[in-house]
Amino acid sequence: MAITKRRSSSQRGLTLNEIRHMQYLSKAIDETLRRSGIVLATSRKAKVDVKINDYIIPKGWKVIIWNRGIHLDSEGFPNPEDFLPSRWDNHTPKAGSFIPFGAGSRICPGADLAKLEMSIFFHYFLLNYRFERSNPGNPIRYLTCPSPKDNCLGKIIKLP
In whole angstroms, give the CA distance from residue 59 to residue 145.
Answer: 31
* Domain coverage including residue 89: 2-129
The reply to whether 136 falls in a domain is no
Residue 154 lies in a domain: no
Q: Find all residues with CB under 8 Å of 81, minimum gap 6, and list them.
A: 72
Looking at the 3D structure of the chain, how many domains does it have?
1
Q: Tell me the pLDDT tens digit for each residue of 51-65.
A: 999 999 999 999 998
81 part of a folded domain: yes
Q: What is the CATH number of the domain that holds 97?
A: 1.10.630.10
Residue 145 lies in a domain: no
Residue 112 forms part of a structural domain:
yes
Q: Is residue 139 part of a domain?
A: no
In a domain, 82, yes or no: yes
In a domain, 143, yes or no: no
pLDDT tens digit sequence for 85-112: 999 999 889 988 999 998 888 889 999 9
Q: What is the pTM of this model?
A: 0.84
pLDDT at 43 over 90: no
State the pLDDT confidence band at 12, using cuts at 50, 70 and 90: confident
Residues 6+ apart with CB under 8 A from 128: 158, 159
